[in-house]
Chain A
Amino acid sequence: MKVQYDKSADVLYVTLRKQDPKQCRFVENENGDVLKIDRLTGHVVGVTIIAFLLRINRGLEVNIPEIRAIPFAEFAKNITGHNTSH
């Protein structure tokens, strides 16, 4: 895991697994943080935490998602675009 802090913007970049950003899609979670998701596997490979120090100083929670295994059907759907579960 690699953690980089952008102090000029107060943004924390957490890399859980190195992956080319072109192979990833980006979605926001309920806190407005940006999840970097591997298109092929569906794994969260990174997270961008906005207003990191501000939140820490206010005692707010900062969540870093765990790397999770996904079911085969979901994995296949990511690759083929078709739902294989019946």
Chain B
Amino acid sequence: MATQKAGSRGGKKSKVVKKKKPPKQPIELATTDWVGNTVVLYEESWLHIQTEHGITDLSGVQNAIHSPMRVRECTVNYCSTAYAHETVIPSSKEHLRVIVHYPENENVIAGKSIGSVKTAYPVDYTSPSRVGAVIYEDANSTLPPPDKSK
């Protein structure tokens, strides 16, 4: 006659499955943006930005976020709130565009949100921007005037 062990069903031991917390993503860069929001760049994202978009100057990315020459409000990308921070790339005909996503719209203006970098890439001065309208221009910006396309 077959016997069943206590605490088991069908001869198999029951296991208590603990729900694992998602692992914390290593952060490559943490800085503040032009209005004081915290912005993080995850290590994984930085690796992709370097290999796929050829941006290797981390201080340039930080500079674009912290002291942008121009900021555009992204009206595409389907993010609730996203901004494109722009600055010059020294000795280049291109400038750097860093896309930062913020989860909460209200706190962004107050500088109390925490955003994350989606991606960053070089853009040509001459190519029209399809990201969105300019909402901030630094008084000392050396970027060429923004196009009127959007």
Contact = CB atoms under 8 A, between A and B. Distances in A.
Contacts of A85: none
A51 to B, nearest CB: 5
Q: How large is the interface on A (under 10, 10 to 19, 20 to 34, 35 or more residues)?
A: 20 to 34
Contacts, number: 90
Contact of A21 (B54, B74, B76, B118): B54
Contacts of B42: 8-9
Contacts of A9: 42, 44-45, 48, 101, 116-119
A55 interface: yes
A60 interface: yes
A35 to B, nearest CB: 10
A27 B129 CA distance: 8
A51 B127 contact: no
A6 to B, nearest CB: 5
B78 A27 contact: no
Interface string A23-55: 011111111111010000000001010110011
Contacts of B44: 6-9
B45 A32 contact: no
Interface of B: 25, 42, 44-45, 48, 51-54, 74, 76-79, 94, 99, 101, 116-119, 121-124, 127, 129-131
Given A6-B44, A26-B53, 12 more contacts: A9-B117, A11-B118, A13-B48, A22-B54, A24-B54, A25-B127, A26-B124, A36-B52, A36-B53, A48-B52, A50-B118, A55-B78
